Amino acid sequence: VPKQNDLLNYFQVS
């Protein structure tokens, strides 16, 4: 079952 990834894994907090 695919797991939901988190957006914070892609975008840096600026």
Distances 9 to 1, 2, 14 between C-alpha atoms, Å? 20, 16, 13
Distance CA 5, CA 2 (A): 9
- Residues of this chain, 1-14, that bind another protein according to CB under 8 A: 1-14
Shortest approach of another protein to residue 2 CB, angstroms?
4
Work out how close the CB of 1 gets to another protein at its nearest, in angstroms, rounded to a whole number.
7
Smallest gap from Cβ 6 to another protein, in A, equals 5
Cα distance between residue 12 and residue 14, in whole Å:
6
Interface positions with another protein (CB under 8 A):
1-14
